[in-house]
Amino acid sequence: MSPTNLVVPTFTQMLSTMSGWLDKAQKASGGAADRLLLARLAPDMFPLGTQVRFACVQAWEAVCRLKGEDFPAFITTLLDEGRNAGEHPGTVADAQARISETMAMLDRLAPDALDGDPGRTIAHALPTGMTFDLTAEQYVRDWTLPQLYFHLMTAYAILRSQGVDIGKADYVPHMFAYLRPGTLPAA
């Protein structure tokens, strides 16, 4: 499977899924949903507002790294918003806008946009000073998809811990497209 055929649908499906969780939170709590962006699982973890933005960062960074391009300024904006979300979480509408902007970027990609040289080394430097040298395949498998799912699962867990009524079906809504007719259990 090519990097584009793996990364783009995965990011698109899962960012759409996270958007659905935020919709549910908004509908269930009305005007109080914005306060959820400050919720955390533990005192030393980033809040929900950060998790949403960092999930979006993973998509932007993956596209740039796999295409061999410099990061646009928008990534810095997302990172700054995420790092500061404990003090300035924004609103659910802001979070939804970041998801929409990210999905629009993914939607604009050509069908083979990320399928360059699979053996090309991607140098992935972390703010701590550590640098990882990975092939495109290793980067997708070992970094970008696990990072996406880390931020998604943390967002999911924060919302659940705050009483938002989401469950397994809300985590994998894209799977219902594959459901064999007549196999959905009766409610």
Cβ neighbours of residue 142 under 8 Å, at least 6 residues apart? 134
**CA–CA gap between residue 46 and residue 151 (Å, rounded):** 10
Domains in the chain, CATH or no CATH each: 3-178 (1.20.120.450)
Strands (E), the chain: 121-125, 131-135
Q: What number of CA atoms fall less than 13 Å from residue 79's CA on the CB side?
A: 12
Confidence of residue 185 (pLDDT cuts 50, 70, 90): confident
**pLDDT tens-digit map of 45-87:** 999 999 999 999 999 999 999 999 999 999 999 999 999 999 9
pTM: 0.93
pLDDT digits (tens, 9 = 90+) for 83-130: 999 999 999 999 999 999 999 999 999 999 999 887 889 999 988 999
Instruction: Pull the structure tokens for residue 147.
Output: 């990072």
The string of DSSP letters for 126-137 reads -TTS-EEEEEHH
CA distance 48 to 158: 7
Q: Which strand (E) or helix (H) includes residue 142? A: none
Tell me the mean pLDDT in the region 164-177.
92
Contact 39, 156 (CB under 8 A): no
Residue 136 corresponds to which tokens in the numbers above?
């495109």
- Here the tokens at position 32 are 């109080």
∠ CA 31-174-99, nearest 5°, is: 45
Q: What are the distances in angstroms from CA 92 to CA 25, 34, 40, 138?
A: 9, 5, 15, 34
Q: Provide the 3-class DSSP secondary structure of residue 122.
A: strand
Please state, in angstroms and rounded to a whole number, the distance separating the CA atoms of residues 112 and 24: 34
What is the percentage of the chain residues whose pLDDT exceeds 70?
100
Tell me: pLDDT of 17 over 90: yes
Report the C-alpha gap between 187 and 184 in whole angstroms: 9
The burial class, CB within 10 Å (0-12 / 13-18 / 19+), for 56 is buried
